[in-house]
Amino acid sequence: MAPRATLAPLAVGFIGLVGTMVLQYVAFASMPVIEANLVAYTWPLMVAAAVIAFDNPRRPVMLGLAAALGFAGVALVISGGRESNWFQGNLLGYFAAFGSALCMAFYSVMVGRLATSPDRLLLPSSLVGVALTLLWSAGDGVAWPSGVDLALGLYLGAGPMGLGYYFWSRALKLEGSGKVAVVAYLTPIGSTLLLTLSGERLTTTAIAGAVLVIGSCIAVGLERSEVQDYV
C-alpha cells in the first residue's frame, strides 16, 4: 500500500503540473496564442462535467448548460468566422490545448482529495519535469539560454507556474465557502485581456465565442460556490 500511496500524489502532481504546462506550450507554438489560451482555459467546464458525473450537484441541468455553452464558444473561437478552414494552427495545437485543459481539470478535482500538502505534491513533480525537460533539450540539441532569455525562463518557472500552482493548491485545500472557485474562473478574463493588449486579435465571431467561454466559466464557478455554501 505504501508505494501506491507515494505514487498517487506524484502522478497527480506530474499530470497537473508537467502535463498542463508542456501541452499548453506545445499549443502556443502550434496555433494562434489567444486561441490556444481560450481553449486551454476550458478546464473549469471539464470540472463541471466531472461534478455532474460524480458529485450529484444540486442543479446538474444548469451546470450542463453552462458547460455546453462554453464548448460551443470554443467552437466559435476555433472557427473564428472562417467558413472554408476552421484551423489556423495545425491539428496538434488544438489537441494539445484540450489536453492541457484536461490535465488541469484532473489536477483541480484530485488535489483537494489528497492528504498530501501542496509542497510535497508539487516539488517532486517539478524536479521530474525539469529532468525530462533537460533530456528533451539535449536530445533536440537546444542551446542553453543566456542573459534575458534565462532570466525570463526562471521567472516563468518560479513565478506564474510554480507559485501559481502552489497557491491554487493551497486554496483548493483550504477553501470552505467555495468563493475561490469564482475567483479562479475569472482567470480567462485577465489572460485574454492581456493577450489582446499585447497585440493578439480575434475576429468578431471568435470574440463571441470568447464571451461564451468566459461567461460559462464564471457560471460554473458561481454554481460550485453555491453548492459548497449549501453543503
pLDDT in tens, 164-192: 788 778 777 776 444 555 566 566 666 76
pTM to 2 decimals?
A: 0.75
In this prediction, residue 102 carries a pLDDT of 92
The pLDDT mean for the chain works out to 75
Q: Which of residues 134 and 205 earns the better pLDDT score?
A: 134
What residue ranges do the domains of the chain occupy?
Answer: 2-132+147-230
Of the pLDDT bands very low, low, confident and very high (cuts 50, 70, 90), residue 118 is confident
Q: Which residue has the higher pLDDT, 175 or 204?
A: 204
pLDDT at 176: 46
Three state DSSP letters for the chain:
CHHHHHHHHHHHHHHHHHHHHHHHHHHHHHCCHHHHHHHHCCHHHHHHHHHHHHCCCCCHHHHHHHHHHHHHHHHHHHHCCCCCCCCCCCHHHHHHHHHHHHHHHHHHHHHCCCCCCHHHHHHHHHHHHHHHHHHHHHHHCCCCCCCHHHHHHHHHHHHHHHHHHHHHHHHHHHCCCCHHHHHHCCHHHHHHHHHHHCCCCCCHHHHHHHHHHHHHHHHHHHHHHHHHHHC
